[in-house]
Amino acid sequence: MDIHKKLRELEEENLLLGEKLVENFLHTVDVLSLIVEALERFYETSHSRFVANKSAELAEKLQLGPQEVFEVHTAALLHDIGKVALPEVINSKFIPEMSKEQYSLYKQHPELGRQMLLRHDGFERIARIVGEHHERIDGSGFPNNLRGEDIHPGAKIIAVVDTYHNVMFRRSKDRFSIGDSAPARYGANFLRDTEVRYGQIISHLRNKSNVLYNPKVVEAFIDMVEIERKQLGMAQIERVAINNLRPGMVLADSYYTTYGLLIASRGEKISDKMIATMMRLSDSNELPPRILILM
């Protein structure tokens, strides 16, 4: 028997098995993230996708390796998966509106998420990040009051992006998370109120840098959003036919299926997968033939 040939065959088999495992893993993440998105009707744009994309960008900016960036992205996509196990009445509320019992249940969602993900091989590090996304460096976070270096670097990144998105894009009747009042989403003063929210969240992050949040993460994140806001301020909106969409273009509006499932959020970069979904939906008249794009 040709031992070399046999070894080569084994090697190929292993490679194939490796690819299958990766494919399997990505498929699982995909299904889980759809479940998470179904919880997100309390946001104006996809919370999990925003937190995932920005956290991965931030992780790259902070020079984490490709494997770590991938883990941060996946953990951010699934960071609130534990909320699936909470009653809707809790998920629809802001923290100040919760009763004491509701708040203590709410504080279990990182641990619930961690345990859910640990049931699947290969999710160990991702599960840890998910379990720590509400920990804060001064030990005031939950569920375990971890401090500084005890918190996974990925969880410190998600903490900042998560807080930012909650303040900027969480739907509110007459209130948003940092305390002051804000009118409804489509009120006449919406643009000015977005500016107010933005000012508040940036000063919150600066004030709590090195208290709640890692200072390097805060600094890199503020840099990133300021650059993006400048670019958006200069951008113009154009209607682009679906078959002319290209990966990397930025959406100027959010798009939903007829059943209300979010396809893509305002401000999100278009991916190949998104284009394929949009083409399919436009064929069945579920989407307009032209999409609003920032140019």
**What CA–CA distance (Å, rounded) separates 256 from 262?**
4
Near Fe ion by CB under 5 A, which window of 112-120, 143-151, 159-167, 252-260?
Answer: 159-167
The minimum distance between CB 283 and Fe ion, in angstroms, equals: 34
Q: Whose Cβ is closer to Fe ion: residue 160's or residue 252's?
A: 160
**What CA–CA distance (Å, rounded) separates 204 from 212?**
10
Contact between 272 and 216 under an 8 Å Cβ cutoff? The reply is no
The minimum distance between CB 280 and Fe ion, in angstroms, equals: 29
Near Fe ion by CB under 5 A, which window of 89-97, 161-169, 173-181, 201-209?
Answer: 161-169
The minimum distance between CB 47 and Fe ion, in angstroms, equals: 6
Question: Identity (one letter) of the amino acid at 127?
Answer: A
**What CA–CA distance (Å, rounded) separates 136 from 138?**
6
For residue 68, state whether it binds Fe ion (rule: CB under 5 A).
Answer: no
For residue 268, state whether it binds Fe ion (rule: CB under 5 A).
Answer: no
Q: Which H or E run contains 238?
A: strand 237-241
Near Fe ion by CB under 5 A, which window of 4-12, 36-44, 64-72, 160-168?
Answer: 160-168
Which one among 40, 68, 162, 268 touches Fe ion, defined by CB under 5 A?
162
Structure tokens at 72: 């941060």
The minimum distance between CB 134 and Fe ion, in angstroms, equals: 6
Taken as a whole, the chain contains a residue count of 295
Q: How far is CA 258 from CA 61, 168, 273, 278, 288, in A?
A: 37, 26, 19, 12, 12
Binding site for Fe ion (CB under 5 A): 80, 162
